């Protein structure tokens, strides 16, 4: 018995010693985090509450208030290039999508992702991730370019650019704007009659939730890329959502812009020395409009606001699902828009496919069958406080809201002012997941990542951001280095120079007063353009059949 007591005592002491010092015990590795990346389409810098909007977005605001907001996060000014840069961690030309998803005859403009990059999904699969995608793809049209060929295990994708929200007929280019799921083209999806409850933003979420449910028993981390095509034109929303906003915009665009600007300053998202840019010269004063015109414009913005409202509702559904699955405490969520708000005008019936053209009638914006956009007039509001729009490289075209959220991992309520870019998303996700970027993949030599990880910013540490960022899209160009930026419109091609630290709304062109700095940045642009395979747009267009 004495020996038994001695043995028990020794055993207890040994357990206590091992527990204290960890000798001979290998601690389990912490579970790799799940990652949810949410991308919306054509939404402006100030269109959600956390970035100054009057549109209630409680779910996104929750993410922002309990996570961090980046105040100088950049996209590439257009949907396809942003998707290419986001997926690859390099500039879009280097990934093969220097323009859009049509082939313009050179490797940098082939219109789909090349084999010299890996996607986020391809990288994460090397660490055992289940990879999921629901939404707009737009960076490769043929089966060998679909999401499944680029690392996604399960996906439901609109391959082309946009679609009707209630009847998913393509607005044009039917050969590109179709839907696929898990390797199969859904041949009749765009022509099958949909239930009255159908709405494409809801459908993308339904599919994402279905994929998440299927991860329950896999015991693997997951990556979910949800790429909504809202609020891309045509602006279409549910009547009950529109009713919330009818009449709220009768005060006019100048008043709404001013109020958004004040909220942005009060939030600290923008600096007070960055003055509100003037109303775009193509937009009339509100008091110049007839009453019927005011009512029509009010309705257009009400529909657009309703689309944002519905996006936020669906993001809330994803948050609820993460909680139901018990994974919300180990999931990073990122949210951004692919470019600035769109000035583009609605298409006429002549530009539609026959099926879609049959739906296009001279109807008001709140009719589910209408193909309507909200044009320069309200896009100027969405991009408050900046100049210009989607497609161009002034701040209104390239500035995006960016929110990062992970409970217990990211300090709540922070603002990150350092310049960041969509090329930084892949390196950051790889950093979080422990992915080592390979030199080769499936026999192909990879080009090096251009982006840098901002994980340290998420960890509450100092992050200096990108020292230099480049842009080129269809002849529109820009460079930002530190506090300085040069930018030019195509086809004028005249460089402008701005001190972004003092004048981010680009009101004071310093090109003539500081020619040395202007030339320094032009030289940097020219060197990058050669390295990235950029071709002068005019030359490229002339060569294209």
Catalytic hit among 3, 80, 93, 138: 138
Catalytic hit among 79, 232, 394, 421: 79
Peptide bond into 510 cis (omega under 30): no
The rounded distance, in Å, linking the Cα atoms of 459 and 362 is 52
The rounded distance, in Å, linking the Cα atoms of 406 and 419 is 21
The H or E element spanning position 155 is strand 154-158
> What 8-state DSSP symbol labels residue 147?
G
> How high is the pLDDT of residue 23?
45
Give the residue among 314, 177, 316, 154 at the shortest CA–CA distance from 234: 177
The rounded distance, in Å, linking the Cα atoms of 346 and 213 is 38
The rounded distance, in Å, linking the Cα atoms of 163 and 483 is 39
Active site residue 79: yes
Q: pLDDT (tens digit, 0 to 9) for every residue of the chain, 545 residues total? A: 445 444 444 444 444 444 444 444 455 567 899 999 999 999 999 999 999 999 999 999 999 999 999 999 999 999 999 999 999 999 999 999 999 988 999 999 999 999 999 999 999 999 999 999 999 999 999 999 999 999 999 999 999 988 889 988 766 666 788 999 999 999 999 888 899 999 999 999 999 999 999 999 899 999 999 999 999 999 999 999 999 999 999 999 999 999 999 999 999 999 999 999 999 999 999 999 999 999 999 999 999 999 999 999 999 999 999 999 999 999 999 999 999 999 998 654 444 555 555 544 445 778 777 778 999 999 999 999 999 999 999 999 999 999 999 999 998 999 999 999 999 999 999 999 999 999 999 999 999 999 999 999 999 999 999 999 999 999 999 999 999 999 999 999 999 999 999 999 999 999 999 999 999 999 999 999 999 999 999 998 876 55
* Beta bridge pairs of residue 69: 403, 415
The model's pTM: 0.93
The rounded distance, in Å, linking the Cα atoms of 322 and 62 is 15
**Does residue 451 sit in helix, strand or coil?**
coil
First to last CA, the chain: 96
> What 8-state DSSP symbol labels residue 191?
T
Here the tokens at position 158 are: 């609109």
> How high is the pLDDT of residue 20?
45
Is residue 403 within 8 Å of residue 295, measured between CB atoms?
no
The rounded distance, in Å, linking the Cα atoms of 497 and 499 is 7
Give the model confidence (pLDDT) of 441-478 as tens digits: 999 999 999 999 999 999 999 999 999 999 999 999 99
Residue with tokens 């951004």: 336
């Amino acid at each position: 018995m004495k020996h038994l007591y001695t043995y028990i005592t020794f055993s207890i002491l040994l357990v206590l010693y091992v527990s204290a010092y960890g000798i001979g015990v290998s601690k389990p590795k912490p579970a790799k985090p799940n990652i949810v990346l949410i991308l919306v389409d054509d939404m402006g810098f100030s269109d959600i509450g956390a970035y100054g909007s009057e549109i209630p977005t409680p779910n996104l605001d929750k993410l922002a208030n309990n996570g961090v907001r980046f105040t100088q996060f950049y996209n590439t000014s257009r949907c396809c290039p942003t998707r290419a840069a986001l997926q690859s961690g390099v500039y879009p030309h280097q990934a093969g999508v220097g323009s859009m998803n049509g082939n313009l005859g050179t490797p940098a403009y082939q219109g789909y992702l090349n084999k010299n990059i890996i996607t986020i999904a391809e990288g994460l699969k090397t660490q055992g991730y289940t990879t999921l995608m629901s939404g707009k793809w737009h960076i490769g049209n043929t089966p060998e370019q679909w999401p499944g060929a680029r690392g996604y295990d399960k996906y439901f994708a609109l391959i082309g650019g946009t679609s009707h929200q209630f009847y998913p007929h393509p607005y044009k280019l039917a050969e590109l704007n179709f839907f696929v799921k898990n390797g199969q083209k859904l041949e009749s999806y765009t022509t099958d009659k949909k239930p009255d409850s159908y709405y494409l933003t809801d459908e993308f979420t339904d599919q994402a939730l279905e994929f998440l449910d299927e991860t329950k028993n896999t015991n693997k981390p997951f990556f979910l890329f949800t790429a909504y095509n809202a609020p891309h034109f045509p602006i279409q929303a549910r009547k009950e959502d529109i009713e919330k906003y009818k009449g709220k915009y009768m005060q006019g665009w100048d008043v709404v812009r001013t109020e958004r600007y004040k909220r942005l300053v009060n939030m600290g998202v923008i600096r007070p020395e960055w003055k509100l840019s003037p109303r775009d010269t193509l937009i009339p004063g509100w008091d110049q409009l007839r009453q019927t015109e005011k009512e029509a414009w009010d309705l257009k913005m009400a529909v657009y606001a309703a689309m944002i409202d519905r996006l936020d509702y669906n993001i809330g559904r994803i948050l609820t699902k993460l909680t139901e699955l018990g994974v919300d405490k180990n999931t990073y969520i990122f949210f951004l828009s692919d470019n600035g708000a769109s000035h583009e005008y609605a298409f006429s019936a002549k530009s539609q496919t026959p099926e879609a053209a049959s739906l296009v009638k001279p109807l008001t914006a709140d009719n589910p069958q209408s193909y309507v956009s909200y044009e320069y007039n309200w896009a100027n509001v969405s991009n408050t406080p900046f100049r210009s729009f989607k497609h161009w490289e002034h701040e209104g075209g390239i500035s995006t809201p960016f929110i990062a959220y992970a409970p217990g991992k990211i300090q709540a309520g922070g603002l990150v002012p350092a310049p960041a870019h969509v090329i930084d998303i892949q390196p950051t996700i790889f950093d979080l997941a422990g992915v080592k970027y390979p030199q080769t993949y499936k026999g192909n030599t990879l080009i090096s990542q251009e982006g840098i990880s901002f994980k340290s910013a998420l960890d509450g540490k100092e992050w200096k951001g990108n020292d230099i960022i480049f842009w080129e899209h269809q002849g529109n160009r820009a460079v930002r280095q530190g506090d300085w930026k040069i930018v030019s419109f195509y086809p004028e091609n005249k460089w402008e120079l701005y001190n972004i630290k003092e004048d981010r709304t680009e009101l004071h062109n310093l090109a003539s007063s500081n020619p040395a700095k202007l030339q320094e940045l032009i030289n940097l642009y020219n060197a990058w353009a050669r390295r990235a395979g950029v071709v002068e747009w005019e030359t490229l267009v002339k060569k294209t059949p």
